[in-house]
């Protein structure tokens, strides 16, 4: 018994955890809001998720190629690593889909002329900037701070490396962080092996907190509260078209007024079914998403971490009950949790050098290298209409821009005139060489698209003029036939 007390005492001194704050009236009878919401899509946040489609497997393949001494790789090796790279389809199709990133070639000395791939000069240039960022002391310290914050949020101040691997992409970790970052911060954390801590796989290594940091154990909400001088509410913004009933609005207003409990504090004293506990869980999710560089991650990643923290079910409930704080996007074949506060008009509210590099990769992915050597920007696989040339338009590779609203408006005006003056409309069509037979007219327009479009536009504007003249005739009581003859002249 004495030995156990000594161990606990030394552990407490090593981590230097602050005493738990006491809150009054936190366990009064309040129940969580029970209701359902109609999912409303947010186009801006969906775009923020969708624009990174295929980026993760592309970066993984890029890193695999870079690790090779020859800086190239046979397609057969890529095929063998398809699952670990998370390639969405056949490797050969994937590399050919992005010719601005991967270059396919046949090495002279290769057996049976097996195709190889290497990175293009543009991709190597971005990768060079990425490696410089990873090697900078400032960025390494940012990585260490993110990992330290996650460890302090964890109740036992340990997180399995398997969970870190799930969050590796969104934490902005280099592929060699275990050897390039962790050993440089021995006062922050260390990797230890604990067989009893193996989580969902055979890897029993965990990242353990070495020393608690009072400076870093301050949440984003607490920093904002300190600036404002009072307890602030969680920023809430709903998608356009979201319908909020009065009961939820009333509950949310009362929920926002509850005391804020820091995610770095042990909230075991809160009842799991209370609004206070829900507010603390929201604070934990809010802080975790702020720790992540893109302010978003796959829902499964949060649930895996929540499972380790013992908060999985409460994480799921908080994500569903607070659509104004967290947005769930179903783009790119998975559910992604986006922190609404972190985005403004579909883009990150605060720029970060790491995300700027990813944007450069996305820009390169959406660049098509044409035969004449010129690059054409594309957005999600579509050629940018502003930069398409006349040759593309003539050959049919780019569809002309159409103003559908104007066409519909003109079509309605034409239809109204035909209904009021059927004989005159028919006469005008005949004068311009149009046939009375509708079927033959449709066939002729289909046989010559350019001529049909010209005649169609001519019809619309001519009939508008006739319609205006007919109104003038009715007002001035002048014979319509006379005016029409003048118009024809």
Partners of 208 in the beta sheet? Answer: 158, 190
Question: pLDDT grade, residue 206 (50/70/90)?
Answer: very high
Q: Burial-class residue 137 by CB neighbours within 10 Å (0-12, 13-18, 19+).
A: exposed
Give pLDDT, residue 435: 45
> Is the pLDDT at 370 greater than 70, yes or no?
no
Whether 135 maps to a domain, the answer reads yes
Q: Are residues 179 and 324 in the same domain?
A: yes
Asked whether the beta carbons of 91 and 75 are under 8 A apart, the reply is: yes
Give pLDDT, residue 417: 66
Mean pLDDT of the chain: 79
Whether 146 maps to a domain, the answer reads yes
> Is the pLDDT at 389 greater than 50, yes or no?
no
Q: Are residues 273 and 136 in the same domain?
A: yes
User: What's the total number of domains in the chain?
Assistant: 3
Looking at 119, 140, 156, which one is the last position of a domain? 119
Q: Are residues 233 and 267 in the same domain?
A: yes
Q: Are residues 199 and 323 in the same domain?
A: yes
Asked whether the beta carbons of 314 and 306 are under 8 A apart, the reply is: yes
Minimum mean pLDDT range among 114-123, 227-236, 326-335, 395-404: 395-404
Question: pLDDT grade, residue 330 (50/70/90)?
Answer: very high
In the Cβ-directed half-sphere of 276, how many Cα atoms lie within 13 Å?
16
Give pLDDT, residue 425: 66
Portion of the chain with pLDDT greater than 90, in percent: 56
> Is the pLDDT at 305 greater than 80, yes or no?
yes
The Cα 221–Cα 232 span in angstroms is: 8
Mean pLDDT for 291-302 is: 98
What would the pLDDT profile of 276-290 be if each residue is shown by its tens digit?
999 999 999 999 999
This prediction has a pTM of 0.71
In the Cβ-directed half-sphere of 152, how many Cα atoms lie within 13 Å?
26
Minimum mean pLDDT range among 168-177, 253-262, 383-392, 441-450: 383-392
Domain range for 461 is: 404-488
Looking at 119, 145, 167, which one is the last position of a domain? 119
CA distances to 46, 426, 455 from 329, rounded to whole Å, are: 6, 53, 45
| Beta pairing, strands 102-105 & 343-344 | unpaired
Whether 177 maps to a domain, the answer reads yes
CA distances to 57, 162, 362, 378, 380 from 103, rounded to whole Å, are: 16, 33, 17, 19, 20
Whether 370 maps to a domain, the answer reads no
CA distances to 35, 187, 310, 315 from 299, rounded to whole Å, are: 21, 32, 16, 10
The SS3 call for residue 255 is helix
Whether 427 maps to a domain, the answer reads yes
Give pLDDT, residue 390: 40
Mean pLDDT for 19-34 is: 47
Whether 361 maps to a domain, the answer reads no
Q: Are residues 220 and 197 in the same domain?
A: yes
The DSSP secondary structure of 21-74, one letter per residue, reads: P--SS-SSS-------------HHHHHHHHTTTTHHHHHHHHHHHHHSTTSEEE
The Cα 305–Cα 211 span in angstroms is: 21
Q: What is the DSSP letter of 119?
A: E
Q: Are residues 106 and 198 in the same domain?
A: no
Q: Are residues 155 and 251 in the same domain?
A: yes
**What's the length of the chain?**
489
Looking at 73, 91, 119, which one is the last position of a domain? 119
Give pLDDT, residue 440: 46
Give pLDDT, residue 415: 67
Q: What is the DSSP letter of 437?
A: -
The SS3 call for residue 363 is helix
Q: Are residues 98 and 141 in the same domain?
A: no
Mean pLDDT for 318-335 is: 94
Backbone angles phi, psi at 267, to 5 degrees: -105, 30
> Is the pLDDT at 422 greater than 80, yes or no?
no
Mean pLDDT for 154-164 is: 95
Asked whether the beta carbons of 149 and 287 are under 8 A apart, the reply is: yes
Asked whether the beta carbons of 38 and 75 are under 8 A apart, the reply is: no
Q: Are residues 59 and 95 in the same domain?
A: yes
Closest CA to 284 of 270, 255, 264, 308: 264
Mean pLDDT for 458-478 is: 51
The Cα 476–Cα 478 span in angstroms is: 5
Minimum mean pLDDT range among 11-25, 35-49, 141-155, 233-247: 11-25
Give pLDDT, residue 38: 79
CA distances to 99, 163, 196, 357 from 200, rounded to whole Å, are: 38, 9, 11, 33
Minimum mean pLDDT range among 3-12, 225-234, 317-326: 3-12
Give pLDDT, residue 434: 46
Q: Are residues 272 and 413 in the same domain?
A: no
Give pLDDT, residue 114: 83
Minimum mean pLDDT range among 240-244, 275-279, 352-356: 240-244
The DSSP secondary structure of 257-282, one letter per residue, reads: TSPP--TTS--TTS-TTSHHHHHHHH
Mean pLDDT for 441-470 is: 51
Give pLDDT, residue 126: 98
Q: Are residues 325 and 194 in the same domain?
A: yes
Give pLDDT, residue 198: 55
What would the pLDDT profile of 73-99 be if each residue is shown by its tens digit?
999 999 999 999 999 999 999 999 999
Give pLDDT, residue 199: 63
Give pLDDT, residue 480: 42
Whether 166 maps to a domain, the answer reads yes
Whether 484 maps to a domain, the answer reads yes
CA distances to 38, 111, 348 from 42, rounded to whole Å, are: 13, 51, 15
Cβ–Cβ contacts within 10 Å for residue 83, how many? 7
Q: Are residues 101 and 204 in the same domain?
A: no
């Amino acid at each position: 018994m004495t030995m156990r007390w000594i161990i606990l005492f030394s552990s407490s001194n090593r981590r230097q955890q602050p005493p738990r704050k006491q809150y009054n009236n936190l366990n009064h009878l309040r129940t969580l809001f029970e209701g359902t919401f109609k999912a409303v899509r947010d186009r801006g946040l969906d775009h923020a998720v969708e624009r990174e489609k295929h980026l993760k497997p592309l970066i993984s393949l890029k890193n695999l190629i870079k690790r090779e001494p020859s800086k190239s790789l046979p397609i057969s090796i890529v095929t063998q690593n398809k699952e670990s790279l998370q390639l969405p389809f056949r490797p050969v199709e994937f590399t050919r889909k992005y010719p601005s990133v991967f270059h396919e070639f046949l090495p002279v000395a290769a057996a049976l002329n097996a195709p190889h791939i290497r990175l293009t000069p543009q991709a190597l240039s971005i990768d060079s900037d990425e490696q410089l960022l990873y090697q900078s002391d400032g960025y390494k310290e940012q990585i260490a701070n993110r990992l330290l914050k996650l460890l302090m949020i964890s109740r036992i101040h340990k997180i399995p490396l398997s969970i870190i691997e799930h969050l590796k992409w969104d934490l902005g970790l280099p592929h060699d962080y275990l050897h390039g970052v962790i050993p440089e911060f021995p006062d922050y954390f260390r990797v230890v092996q604990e067989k009893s801590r193996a989580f969902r796989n055979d890897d029993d290594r965990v990242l353990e907190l070495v020393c608690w940091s009072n400076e870093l154990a301050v949440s984003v909400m607490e920093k904002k509260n300190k600036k404002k001088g009072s307890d602030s509410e969680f920023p809430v913004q709903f998608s356009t078209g979201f319908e909020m009933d009065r009961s939820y609005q009333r509950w949310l207003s009362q929920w926002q007024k509850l005391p804020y409990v820091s995610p770095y504090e042990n909230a075991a004293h809160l009842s799991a079914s209370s609004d206070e506990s829900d507010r603390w869980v929201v604070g934990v999710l809010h802080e975790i998403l702020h720790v992540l560089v893109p302010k978003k991650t796959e829902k499964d990643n949060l649930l895996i971490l929540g499972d380790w923290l013992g908060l999985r079910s409460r994480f799921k409930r908080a994500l569903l009950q607070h659509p104004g704080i967290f947005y769930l996007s179903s783009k790119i074949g998975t559910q992604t949790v986006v922190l609404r506060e972190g985005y403004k008009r579909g883009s990150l509210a605060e720029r970060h050098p790491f995300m700027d590099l990813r944007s450069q990769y996305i820009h390169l992915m959406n660049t098509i290298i044409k035969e004449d050597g010129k690059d054409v920007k594309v957005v999600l696989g579509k050629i940018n209409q502003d930069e398409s040339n006349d040759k593309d338009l003539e050959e049919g590779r780019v569809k002309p821009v159409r103003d559908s609203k104007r066409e519909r408006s003109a079509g309605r005006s034409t239809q109204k005139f035909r209904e009021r003056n059927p004989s005159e409309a028919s006469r005008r069509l005949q004068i311009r060489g149009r046939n009375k037979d509708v079927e033959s007219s449709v066939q002729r327009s289909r046989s010559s698209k350019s001529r049909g479009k010209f005649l169609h536009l001519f019809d619309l504007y001519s009939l508008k003029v006739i319609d205006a003249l007919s109104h003038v005739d009715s007002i001035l009581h002048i014979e319509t036939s006379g005016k029409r003859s003048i118009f024809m002249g």
